[in-house]
Chain A
Amino acid sequence: MRPRSAAALIALALCAGAAAQERALPLERLKPGTDFLGADLRALQSDDLGNPAMLWVERGAKMWSERAGTAGRSCADCHQDAAQSMRGVAASYPKFDAARGRLFNLEGRINACRTGHQGAQPFAHESQELLSITAYVASQSRGLPIHVGIDGPARAHFEAGRAAYYRRRGQMNLACAQCHEENWGKRLFAETVSQGHPTAYPAYRMEWQTLGSEERRLRACLSGVRAEMLPYGAPEYLDLELFLAWRAEGLKIESPGVRR
């Protein structure tokens, strides 16, 4: 390659990099979901007994060392102590798995472990088992900053997620950005619109009276703008989760959180 075209390529790559780093919400203005909660829910989340999500975390801790599937292996048999092996893992998801050639969120990754390494059936979406083990794994990253990779094969998913985020949809004809970028901090009936960062999931939502995944939360927003809810496991949710995680870069994981 001639030096001049190489230089041009590098310049192009730099431009593309700069464009990708363009943030509608600059990092220093990011606020986690807890900032938009009332004092009562904040207190509940930080109280390890009162936080109802800890019931699921405790169950997940038991599941961690339970053998499953035809391989008769537990999570602990490969990953040993979750406090060490799973520390920070949730903060780096969704993540592209080169070996399997697809993007995984934490739930998907856990199910891939079940089918691939344990020889077990995958857990159903929103099943108590999947929520419990996900909450347990995610809780090992509490207090650690979110950082996801969006380069290489993850780039296409990231761009699809960004497009989904800015696309108007539903009878209300609203995009995610119109609430969570342009109008965060304002009141929507009795609630304060948040910036929409997925720092707490799986989270215990008062509205649900139970623990739920980030995907369930996205579905709730889709329902809120009266858009069609895609089925659980639809790739668009994954893409969106990746974009949201990138958007929340540096915010600390609170899982398992408490939300309204």
Chain B
Amino acid sequence: MAARIQVPQQAKRGEPMPVRIIVQHPMETGYRHDEVGHPIKRNVIHELSCRYNGAEVFRADLSSGIAANPYIQFFTVADASGVLEFSWIDDEGVRGSERAPVVVA
């Protein structure tokens, strides 16, 4: 599962900074049927979280209402330079993760 993360090139210490991520995932709702009428099993990323230098700063519980390739933005206070680590898991138990460096000045 691919993902793309965007943080400001340089964040200001003590200021909120926007963090954005888009994850490639079909987010199959569980409400659709295939060509012969069998229901297609739900498979969505149901949990996504972000750790900033080891401490969790963001967590989301997602469900069928979220479109494919979920795109999430949140703000966190830029404390120190380091790394943002995202991890997520879908209904089939497939895990994904992606990291991005943070530079605080």
In contact, A54 and B4 (Cβ under 8 angstroms): yes
Contact indicator per residue, chain B 19-49, by CB within 8 Å of chain A (1) or not (0):
0101010110000000000000000000000
A66 at the interface (CB under 8 A from B): no
The answer to whether A58 touches B22, judged by C-beta atoms less than 8 angstroms apart, is: no
The residues of B that contact A216 with a CB separation of less than 8 Å are: none
Contact of B2 among A55, A206, A209 (CB under 8 A): A55
- Check A49–B26 contact: CB distance below 8 A: no
Q: Are B2 and A59 in contact (CB under 8 A)?
A: yes
Query: Is there contact, CB below 8 Å, between B22 and A49?
Result: yes
Chain B's interface size range is 10 to 19
A50 proximity list for chain B (CB < 8 A): 20, 22, 71
Once the chains bind, are A58 and B2 in contact (CB under 8 Å)?
Answer: yes
Bound-state CA distance A49–B21 (Å) is 8
List chain B residues, Cβ under 8 A from A55.
2-4, 22, 24, 69
Contact A209 B68 (CB under 8 A): yes
The interface centre, meaning the residue of A52, A58, A210 with most chain B CB atoms within 10 A of its CB, is A52
| Chain A residues, Cβ within 8 Å of B68 | 52, 209-210
Inter-subunit contact A49/B4 (CB<8 Å): yes
Q: Assess A209 versus B67: contact at CB under 8 Å? Given A55-B2, A55-B4, A58-B4.
A: yes
**What is the bound-complex CA distance between A54 and B2, given in angstroms?**
11
Chain B residues 56 to 70 lying within 8 A of chain A, measured CB to CB, are 67-69
Residues of chain B lying within 8 A (CB to CB) of residue A206: 67
Min CB distance, A238 to chain B, in Å? 27
Residue B6 CB within 8 A of the other chain:
yes
Q: How many residues of A contact B (CB 8 A)?
A: 10
Cβ contacts under 8 Å, B69 to chain A: 52, 55, 209-210
> Complex formed: what's the CA distance from A20 to B60 in Å?
57
Q: Among A50, A59, A206, find the residue whose CB has the most chain B CB atoms closer than 10 A.
A: A50
Cβ A49 vs Cβ B20 within 8 A:
yes
**CB distance A210 to B20 under 8 Å?**
no
Q: How far is the CA of A59 from the CA of B67 in the complex (A)?
A: 21
Give a binary string over B66-88; 1 marks a CB under 8 Å from any A CB, 0 the rest: 01110100000000000000000
Closest B residue to A204 by CB, please name it. B69
Q: Is the CB of B26 within 8 A of A210?
A: yes
Which residue of chain B has its CB nearest to the CB of A51?
Answer: B22
CA distance A59 to B71 in the complex (A): 18
Contact pick for B71, options A52, A58, A209, A210, CB 8 Å: A52
11 contacts between A and B (CB under 8 A): A49-B20, A52-B24, A52-B68, A55-B2, A55-B22, A55-B69, A206-B67, A209-B27, A209-B67, A209-B68, A210-B69
Besides A50-B20, A52-B71, A55-B2, 18 other CB < 8 A contacts? A49-B4, A49-B22, A50-B71, A52-B22, A52-B68, A54-B4, A54-B22, A55-B3, A55-B4, A58-B4, A59-B2, A206-B67, A209-B27, A209-B67, A209-B68, A210-B26, A210-B68, A210-B69
Q: Which 9 A-B pairs have the closest CB atoms?
A: A209-B68, A52-B69, A49-B6, A55-B24, A49-B20, A55-B2, A50-B71, A49-B4, A52-B22
